[in-house]
Amino acid sequence: MLKRSKLLLIGKTWPEPSATAAGVRMMQLLGWFKARGYRITFCSAATRGPYSCDLEAMGVRTREIALNDPSLDQFLKEEGFDIVVFDRFMTEEQFGWRVMTILPQCIRILDTEDLHSLRNSREQAFLNKQQWNQTLWTADPVFYREMASIFRCDYSLIISSYELQELQQTFPVLAERLQYLPFQFSKPKESQPGFEARKDFIFVGNGKHLPNLDAIELLLEKIWPELRSKVPHAELFIYGAYLPDRLKRAAVKKNNLHVMGWVENLAPVMQGARLQLAPLRFGAGVKGKILQGLRLGLPTLTTAIGGEGIYNAATSRLLSADTPETFIVAAEKLYRDQQLWGQALHLAGKAAEDHFQAPQVFGSQFIEKLQQPRPEYPGTESGLLASLLGKKAFDSSRYLSKWISEKKQKGPVERENPL
């Protein structure tokens, strides 16, 4: 019997596992807690989308909440949750102070998804035509907000081994608060189609994610016209939810290029394609599309950033290229050379297994932590920083929220006419 069993998960959005990697991650997390006996409530201030999952069907209670609304305080008091999980740091910013005030003894967990400050700093470096470095990361405004959120929470779930290493090197005092809990990855039980049974290229990614949009535009404008001339019988299919119409219009002007949009089940698509292309020039976290492809026997040619947290050095030599020119050369070789294709798929699958077949081990260790008294880190540098940020960093959010709430209740104030 769990000592701590009532869990609240506050989502930035409602999970869309058929449309976003973040949705897949959230469903895995919910399933992970559910299988271990937790009674889960999921709430969000976002509007449910067209691809939102039916959480009630899997035994998860749901509740819609509102920003800057004190009704959440009463809900927290009535339920008395043992554990609260925040989906990404901005959710903790918005609701963490309420949780800390109403439920001071509950365990607070941040699911980072990926390090948004890392992604943002890389995007800004790309737009400014700069070579990204750690100084740009730590100078990014999002960095301070995200790190403050990590310090305030008792534990933070990290999905990427690369990001875990970067955090530990930047803030050694955070070591006890960081928990590596990656995507769940396992090979499918049935065998997958081989090289000769496959054809064409695919790209998979939702249109709300800026790194995906940039990668698609790079494919359309620079990579595909040249690649198509080298493999004229191949076609490129682009799949994803929320793809803007301008991409569909641009694709009409390109030969053998098709923007397909969202499909409910990507498995047949990936099982039929020979190579997935993911020329991501900025971003962070772990790419679910690469792991999903590997499960279905599909290798992915990407960049150093795209393969981060999945590929090792041996895999990267075959499945990573950082310029359009080298990307085109590598794509043609992998598409034509059956032996090279098989070697790349084997190495990528082995690298992924090393990283992602151990979530059960990591998870079991984490469950033990959650059943212990809430960590307070008294007298440590980490504890002092967490206390300072908990008392001061929330002030602006707290008082702005209260001001907005009171303004909503009172309505617009009529000014007296001085004449």
pLDDT tens, position by position, 72-128? 999 999 999 999 999 999 999 999 999 999 999 999 999 999 999 999 999 999 999
Residue ranges making up the domain that contains 245:
195-356
* C-alpha–C-alpha distance, residues 11 and 354, integer Å: 29
Residue by residue, what is the 3-state secondary structure of 253-274? CCCCEEEEECCCCCHHHHHHCC
**Does any domain span residue 417?**
no
210 and 348 share one domain? yes
CATH number of residue 37's parent domain: 3.40.50.2000
122 and 81 share one domain? yes
Contacts of 326 (CB under 8 A, 6+ apart): none
Half-sphere exposure (Cβ direction) of 248: Cα atoms closer than 13 Å:
11
264 and 134 share one domain? no
Position with higher pLDDT, 280 vs 398: 280
User: Is the per-residue pLDDT at 16 higher than 70?
Assistant: yes
**Does any domain span residue 167?**
yes
b/e burial code for range 12-38 (CB count within 10 A of at least 16 → b) = bbbbbbbbbbbbbbbbbbbebbeeeeb
Position with higher pLDDT, 331 vs 406: 331
Per-residue pLDDT, 336: 97
269 and 380 share one domain? no
120 and 219 share one domain? no
Roughly what angle, to the nearest 10 degrees, separates helices 89-102 and 395-410? Answer: 80
Amino acid code (one letter) for 401: S
User: The pTM is what?
Assistant: 0.87
User: Is the per-residue pLDDT at 324 higher than 80?
Assistant: yes
81 and 151 share one domain? yes
Where is 306: in which H helix or E strand?
A: none
146 and 286 share one domain? no
Per-residue pLDDT, 414: 41
**Overall average pLDDT of the 382-388 stretch:** 59
215 and 295 share one domain? yes
User: Is 316:162 a contact under the CB 8 Å cutoff?
Assistant: no
Strand order in the sheet with 201-204: 257-261, 236-239, 201-204, 275-278, 300-302
Strand order in the sheet with 6-11: 61-64, 39-44, 6-11, 83-87, 107-111, 155-158, 178-180
Q: What is the pLDDT of residues 213-225, one digit of tens each?
A: 999 999 999 999 9
199 and 227 share one domain? yes
23 and 103 share one domain? yes
The domain total for the chain is 2
Average pLDDT, the chain: 88
Domain boundary (356, 379, 401) is at: 356
Q: What is the pLDDT of residues 239-287, one digit of tens each?
A: 999 999 888 888 777 888 999 999 999 999 999 999 999 999 999 999 9
Domain boundary (335, 356, 377) is at: 356
- What confidence category does residue 203 fall into, taking pLDDT thresholds of 50, 70 and 90? very high
**Does any domain span residue 344?**
yes
**Overall average pLDDT of the 22-36 stretch:** 90
174 and 229 share one domain? no
How much of the chain exceeds pLDDT 90, in percent?
70
**Overall average pLDDT of the 340-358 stretch:** 85
Per-residue pLDDT, 419: 33
286-to-8, 20, 114 alpha-carbon distances in Å: 25, 12, 7
Roughly what angle, to the nearest 10 degrees, separates helices 141-152 and 89-102? Answer: 40
**Does any domain span residue 415?**
no
What six digits make up the tokens of 85?
Answer: 């999980």
**Does any domain span residue 419?**
no
Per-residue pLDDT, 388: 58
Contacts of 60 (CB under 8 A, 6+ apart): 30, 34, 40, 41, 42
Half-sphere exposure (Cβ direction) of 174: Cα atoms closer than 13 Å:
23
- What confidence category does residue 418 fall into, taking pLDDT thresholds of 50, 70 and 90? very low
Per-residue pLDDT, 415: 39
Q: What is the Rg, in whole angstroms, of the alpha carbon atoms belonging to the chain?
A: 23
* C-alpha–C-alpha distance, residues 150 and 140, integer Å: 16
End-to-end CA distance of the chain: 72
Domain boundary (313, 337, 356) is at: 356
Q: What is the pLDDT of residues 52-75, one digit of tens each?
A: 999 999 999 999 999 888 899 999
- What confidence category does residue 158 fall into, taking pLDDT thresholds of 50, 70 and 90? very high
**Does any domain span residue 414?**
no
207 and 347 share one domain? yes
**Does any domain span residue 253?**
yes
| Runs of H (alpha helix) within 103-240 | 116-127, 134-139, 141-152, 161-170, 210-218, 224-230
**Does any domain span residue 190?**
no
What six digits make up the tokens of 76?
Answer: 């927290």
**Closest-CA residue to 154 (of 398, 388, 397, 373):** 373
